[in-house]
Amino acid sequence: MITKIAKFLLWLAFALVLVGAFFWAPLKEGLGPYTRVLYFHVPVAWMSVVFFLIAAYYSVMYLRKKEIIYDAYAKISNEMGILFAILATVTGSIWAKMIWHSFWNWDPRETSIFILLLIYGAYFSLRAALEQEDRRARLAAVYSLLAFVTVPFFIFIVPRIYFSLHPDPVINAQGKVNMEARQRIVFFSSLITQTIFFLWVFSIRLKQARVKYRLRELNESKLFEE
């Protein structure tokens, strides 16, 4: 019963966010209709980072417990992560073209999402190249953690390099700067709603993985019984 109510509220929240984004929140001058990208671009980029962190967690769990289900979880997290990273890159790029008239500028945010895409891409290439299940799980987990270790460097290095290359301050004014009250409401509710929604989708996929592996376990044990 509670889950039904929760699902309904989530649905309602999402509907309200969409209505708010397209009809209720005022448009920023100069940006015009492109203001709306903000309500979807930032949550999506945020989700890709969240899934990256979740994947690192499940990688650690796999290496510690060696239960294949953790590898399945890590793979699912990375799949969702790369999906959101691609969405973030595309929406951000379109927005950049509209605002700054250039699809790609190598500003810190763009560079970070690009690096995240590279890491995800490398992770899936590695998984594709390994056939044995336990080897694949192990090495993919190791790579996930290796990538996780290098990420803090990007957070510190990239802004420095940016300032030394480009003199004019472009970006970053977006999230912080003057959003009117309505825009702020829609923005934060969009962020929260999308986070909850996509984490819920993620938990369903995890459940799916659990069922699949349980079925496999049962099938294999039946084999031995005969």
Cβ partners under 8 Å of residue 142, min gap 6: 59, 63
For the chain, what's the residue count?
226
53, 149, 201, 218: residue in contact with other proteins (rule CB under 8 A):
149
Q: Which of 13, 16, 115, 199 binds other proteins (CB under 8 A)?
A: 115
When asked if residue 157 is in the footprint of other proteins (CB under 8 A), the reply is yes
Instruction: Tell me how far the alpha carbon of residue 46 is from its chain's centroid.
Output: 6
Using rule CB under 8 A, residue 211 touches other proteins: no
The residue among 100, 19, 85, 24 whose CA lies nearest residue 51 is: 85
Nearer to other proteins, 150 or 172 (CB): 150
Size of the site for other proteins (CB under 8 A): 31
Q: Which stretch binds other proteins (CB under 8 A): 2-10, 76-84, 124-132, 214-222?
A: 124-132
Closest approach, Cβ 157 to other proteins, in A, equals 6
DSSP 178: -
Can you read off the two tokens belonging to residue 89? 């890159």
The full 3-state SS of 97-152, as one line of letters, equals HHHHCCCCCCCHHHHHHHHHHHHHHHHHHHHHHCCCHHHHHHHHHHHHHHHHHHHH
Nearer residue to other proteins within complex by CB, 130 or 170: 130
Interface pick for other proteins out of 129, 177, 181, 223 (rule CB under 8 A): 129
> Which region among 40-48, 83-91, 157-165, 183-191 touches other proteins (by CB under 8 A)?
157-165
Q: How far is the CB of 123 from other proteins (least distance, A)?
A: 9
Instruction: Round to whole Å and give the CA distance between 173 and 178.
Output: 9
- Residue 23 in the binding site for other proteins (CB under 8 A): no
Contact between 125 and other proteins by CB under 8 A: the answer reads: yes
Binding site for other proteins (CB under 8 A): 63, 115, 118-119, 121-122, 125-126, 129-131, 134-135, 138-139, 141-143, 145-147, 149-150, 153-154, 156-158, 160-161, 164
